[in-house]
Structure 1
């Protein structure tokens, strides 16, 4: 589409969680550092909560890519599993061959033996669970029991839970208090701050091969933040649509008017951004009418849209 027009090698605002586009914002950097430190010290359960679209999946991929060879990792993108499915998933990831005839108690015994073997070989096993708020209550209990497996000095299995705020509501249930008490670190992933939005956009563009001057002007970025609230997924969706709009009219820059079109096409955009975009539609024609009678402040209509 617009890659050749803007001199790009890839689409900069794809929603695919590609670690090449991981932006090291303060919140993401601090959470990643905490995760790496906690895993290095075998802390057991770690929880990361963030609103929809704040980059939890990308952060989990970055975490997995940052762990060294001493770690054996298992990643569950969809945790809607039965307790037995969870155990078998872990078993296969640590090298236990699947056998449907194996009873559950024997499977748990084999998992424990394999984890002890790996610990003796200085290998740490990390289970990363995305969208953990969707995990059934029985499966959460099975997960807690799995983390009971430990030596006198360290946990044999470490678990990182990534989830939406509903995860906190789930863990506040009285019957899950034992698991909640085992969470050593609990982090909250923040959105991109307004002052860092230009850096975020420019970083994504540069990572996609862009080498020119800033592609989005300041007015466009200001409206983009108002419409996205700094949520990376919304930023990406509307920035992509705005670039399509700019490409469609042969523009070499993304301006405020292109962001306005992206907002109009994005139902999830924030109400402030939609209001500002609608205001522009009636404000500028009115200013043009005032200019015709010579009562507009000089230079006001020269603002770049």
Structure 2
């Protein structure tokens, strides 16, 4: 579509989490550093919370790409599992003996033996849970019991939980207070600042092969306001704005294309009338933001 027109080697604003496009902004950098440091020191539970679209899955993939050598990782993208399914998944991911007919205590023994074997060989096992707010209460309790497995020196299984703010609500239940007390480190992913949005847009364009400034300063300003700094919304609006500019034969995106993209995206912060009002505002006509 517009990729060749704008001299891009690939789509710069795809919604698929691609680590090539990861921008190490402050909030995400702090969360990543917290996870890496905590895992290096064999801490038990780590929690990362962020609103929808703030890049939690991307952060998962970056973390997993950095956990090499001494780490054995198990990634659960959808933890809506029964306790039995959770234990079966962990057993298979770490290479423990498992068959569907195993009794619960036999399966736990198998997992424990494999964890001890891995620890003996200097391996740390990390379970990464994305969308952790969807985990049933009984499964969370089963997860807590799994983390009881330990040597005299350290935990045999570490857990990273990433989820929406509902995760905090879930963990505030009185019957889950034992697990909540085990969360040693927690971080909250924040939306990008206005400058962060501009850096994010340019980073993705650079990564896709075009280092020129395809978005005017006014376009970036409105994109930041409309998206609220949420990476997923930035991608959606920027993609639509590029399509609009391409369709009009423009060499770059200005505020009009971003306004049209925001109007077409129901999740953004502005209604159509408010965007239209901003675009007619004399500041944009006479202020030279184009």
TM-score range, shorter chain: over 0.9
In structure 1, what is the equivalent of residue 215 of structure 2?
216
* Consecutive unaligned residues in structure 2, runs of 5 or more: none
SS state of the match for residue 23, structure 2?
coil
Indicate yes or no: 2:53 matched with 1:53: yes
Distance 2:131 2:257 in 1: 33
* Consecutive unaligned residues in structure 1, runs of 5 or more: 288-296
In structure 2, what is the equivalent of residue 132 of structure 1?
132
Offset at residue 100 of structure 1 (A): 1.4
- Pair 39,302 (structure 1): closer, same or farther in 2 beyond 3 Å: closer
TM-score, normalising length: structure 1 = 0.92
- Pair 185,274 (structure 1): closer, same or farther in 2 beyond 3 Å: farther
In 1, are the aligned partners of 2:98 and 2:110 still within 8 Å (CA)?
Answer: no
In 2, are the aligned partners of 1:246 and 1:252 still within 8 Å (CA)?
Answer: yes
In structure 1, what is the equivalent of residue 225 of structure 2?
226
Within 5 Å, give how 1:198-213 maps onto structure 2: 198-211=198-211, 213=212
Within 5 Å, give how 1:50-199 maps onto structure 2: 50-199=50-199
Indicate yes or no: 2:239 matched with 1:240: yes
Offset at residue 195 of structure 1 (A): 1.9
In 2, are the aligned partners of 1:13 and 1:237 still within 8 Å (CA)?
Answer: yes
Distance 1:280 1:169 in 2: 37
RMSD (Å), alpha carbons: 1.7
Distance 2:274 2:85 in 1: 49
In 2, are the aligned partners of 1:227 and 1:274 still within 8 Å (CA)?
Answer: no
Distance 1:61 1:300 in 2: 43
Distance 1:274 1:65 in 2: 41
In 1, are the aligned partners of 2:92 and 2:98 still within 8 Å (CA)?
Answer: yes
Distance 1:164 1:302 in 2: 40
In 2, are the aligned partners of 1:125 and 1:157 still within 8 Å (CA)?
Answer: yes
Distance 1:2 1:244 in 2: 6
Distance 2:80 2:181 in 1: 23
In 2, are the aligned partners of 1:49 and 1:162 still within 8 Å (CA)?
Answer: yes
In 2, are the aligned partners of 1:223 and 1:276 still within 8 Å (CA)?
Answer: no
Indicate yes or no: 2:276 matched with 1:278: yes
Offset at residue 264 of structure 1 (A): 1.2
Offset at residue 301 of structure 1 (A): 4.5
Moved >3 Å (runs of 4+): 273-276, 299-305
CA displacement, residues 214-240 of structure 1 (integer Å, 9 cap, x when unaligned) = 110000000001101101010010000
Structure with greater Cα Rg: 1
In structure 2, what is the equivalent of residue 27 of structure 1?
27
Offset at residue 98 of structure 1 (A): 3.6
In structure 2, what is the equivalent of residue 264 of structure 1?
263
Distance 2:44 2:112 in 1: 15
CA displacement, residues 9-30 of structure 1 (integer Å, 9 cap, x when unaligned) = 1111111011101110011111
TM-score, normalising length: structure 2 = 0.96
